[in-house]
Amino acid sequence: MNILVTGATRGIGRAIAEELRACGEVFVCGRNLELLKSFGGAGFCRCDLSSESEVLEEFIREHKIDVLVNNAGEYIYGEIDKMKSEYVERIFHTNLITPIRLISASVGHMKNKKWGRIINIGSISGVMGEANASLYSSTKAGLLGLTKALALELAEFGITVNTINPGWVDTELGLNSIDESEFSKEEIVECIPQRRFVKPEEVAKLVRYLISEDAKGITGQGINLCAGLSVGI
């Protein structure tokens, strides 16, 4: 089984790549060459998915990817009237357009094999919305629509498509987004029913389950892994 995890140099992506080592040949991509080399998996592709998805698309076709994990993403915090056009284009390309293009590059092989797994890493912000993160929320909401439609389109080929929506995760990206917001970490934790951040390993273990044969009946789903955040306070 050939597996590709995007944005795998740190945080959730790295945890997923490490967790899936036991499942097959794991390929990783990201922007940091040294961190890609340090993973030591089946291979890597260094690229910036905000502008260089073509490089990875060719990599996918060459290596016949069976499991695609679209994890790479960007977060931008700010009022909508202060968002420059380059911010809009960058985050939509990274968070939504690139996953679409990578899926398109992957499914030909999956269809021929009559088996495949596509996992998108979304966000609870795409389920609930997040003030001053409208660009991020809308791209992650787009993944949910994509997931539902593709699950129907690809079901007859034995391909499942699902999205995991993490809440606040204990990663560098999560902590950096706190710094950009108007709330402290303590205030945010107080709003989470379980009073904690999700660990990257929790997301990774859910990915491992979703690509297994035990989960072959789960497709078209957006699964909230958010310590209860989506339910209320």
Residue 75 among the catalytic residues: no
57 close to 101: Cβ distance less than 8 angstroms? yes
Out of 75, 87, 136, 209, pick the active-site residue.
136
Q: At what angle do helices 200-210 and 11-19 cross, to 10 degrees?
A: 50
Handedness of CA 114, 214, 56, 141 (dihedral sign): positive
The CA distance from 148 to 54, in Å, is 25
SS3 52: coil
SS3 94: helix
CA dihedral 128, 130, 136, 141 (to 10 degrees): 10
Amino acid at 97: I
Handedness of CA 218, 112, 39, 53 (dihedral sign): negative
Active site residues: 136
